[in-house]
Amino acid sequence: MLTERSGRGRWNTAKRVLALYLLGMIRLGYPAQNVTLPATTNRTLRLASLGDTEKVRALVWENLLGLETIVRWNAERGLRLFRIGQGLIPFASHPAFPYDWEVEHGDDLREIGALARSLGVRLSMHPGQFINPGSPDPRTAERSLEELRYATRVFDLMGGEDAVVVLHLGGAYDDRPAAVARFVEALRPEAGILRYLALENDERIWTVAEISQAARDLGIPAIVDNLHHRLNPGGLALGEALDLALPTWESRGVRPKIHLSSQDPKKRPGAHAYSIEPGDWEAVVGALGGRETDVMVEAKGKELAALGVGAGRERSSVAPEPQQG
């Protein structure tokens, strides 16, 4: 029992967490795939196979079917966030993509978007670490913008006003002010991208304070990742970091969003664990101080980890991590 392991204080905290969750002040979700169903939104192929139009169509159809299935499953279980895999339409921003995906899949995207809204499931995307519109290499910067435009078009078709495209600030290139200036300059003209974009802190380079300032310069929100902040705090406590980032969401008029994860003790700093340690969850809840927030649970256990957090469970009560053979 929880009380036997942790005492009255932990039990009272768990009850408070569960009460907040059930009241809807904190909504939970997870990224990319559901390991229970199983279903994914991130099936892809090699770039060399992009010319196989029927293979690409089949993969996209499977990803869209996976997204619809996951949205329905999540809604039935009270999970109100889901991050779509960036490979929903593999290589959609590549000039060699073999057909007009907006025409081909637009109706399906509109239908899934309407379904998600009707079920109260908020959607997001998170382009990968190599997407850097502030790169000093103009080719990298332009390719990055094209990938962000792809994500923007996905959400334009789906119609989600509270959708979010999450992005890191990228490299510092030995000149932090110049890197931020390039990033802001590259994105300032991109009104479509900025409609969904939010900046996230990282574990090595950019702190919450720095990404919050860049976000304000662009008129977009900032996202706090608790694990990244622990590794790269910039002199701020978690509550102070949230005090900086959460108000940046006010101008967009939607619920703030943050990321929650725990460190995998067997891997490099910043690697996600299979589930969420109770102390990490409790620290985030305490720092939020009752503020209404959406929490993306970033854990290898995906929906199992998110459901475990939502129920206020100890880590041991979440389905165990599969053993490597």
Angle between helices 208-218 and 238-245 (to 10 degrees): 0
pLDDT at 316: 38
Over residues 6-34, the mean pLDDT reads 70
Is residue 242 within 8 A of residue 233, CB to CB? The reply is no
Give dist(CA 254, CA 288) in Å, integer: 17
How sure is the predictor about 9, in pLDDT bands with cuts at 50, 70 and 90?
Answer: low
Over residues 240-252, the mean pLDDT reads 97
Every domain of the chain and the residues it spans: 2-315
Residue type, 274: Y
Give dist(CA 50, CA 279) in Å, integer: 45
Give dist(CA 169, CA 210) in Å, integer: 9
The b/e string for 5-44 (b: 16+ C-beta within 10 A; e otherwise) is eeeeebbebbeebeebbeeeebbbbbbbbbbeeebbbbbb
Mean pLDDT for the chain overall: 91
Q: Per-residue pLDDT for 42 more than 50?
A: yes
How sure is the predictor about 17, in pLDDT bands with cuts at 50, 70 and 90?
Answer: low
State both tokens at 147: 């990938």
Give dist(CA 108, CA 41) in Å, integer: 14
pLDDT at 225: 98
**Which percentage of the chain shows pLDDT scores above 70?**
88
pLDDT at 320: 55
Closest listed residue to residue 298, CA positions, set 266, 259, 324: 259
φ, ψ of residue 314 in degrees (nearest 5):
-70, 155
pLDDT at 309: 87
Output DSSP code: residue 115. H
pLDDT at 310: 67
**Which percentage of the chain shows pLDDT scores above 90?**
84
55 burial via Cβ count (<10 Å: 0-12, 13-18, 19+): middle
pLDDT at 130: 87
pLDDT tens-digit series, residues 130-145: 899 999 999 999 999 9
pLDDT at 323: 58
How sure is the predictor about 59, in pLDDT bands with cuts at 50, 70 and 90?
Answer: very high
pLDDT tens-digit series, residues 46-57: 999 999 999 999
Output the CA torsion 275→277→282→284 (10° steps). Answer: -60
State both tokens at 314: 């100890």
Which CATH code of 1.10.3720.10, 3.10.450.50, 3.20.20.150, 3.40.50.150 fits the domain covering 2-315?
3.20.20.150
Q: How many CA atoms lie within 13 A of 115 on its CB side?
A: 18
Q: Per-residue pLDDT for 101 more than 90?
A: yes
Residues 6+ apart with CB under 8 A from 4: none
Residue type, 107: D
Q: Per-residue pLDDT for 317 more than 70?
A: no
177 burial via Cβ count (<10 Å: 0-12, 13-18, 19+): exposed
pLDDT tens-digit series, residues 279-312: 999 999 999 988 999 999 999 999 999 999 866 5
Residue with tokens 């649970």: 297
Over residues 197-202, the mean pLDDT reads 98
Strands 81-83 and 39-40: unpaired
Output DSSP code: residue 118. H
Output DSSP code: residue 252. G
State both tokens at 324: 């490597």
Residue 220 gets the label, from left (phi > 0), alpha (psi -120 to 50) or beta, of: beta
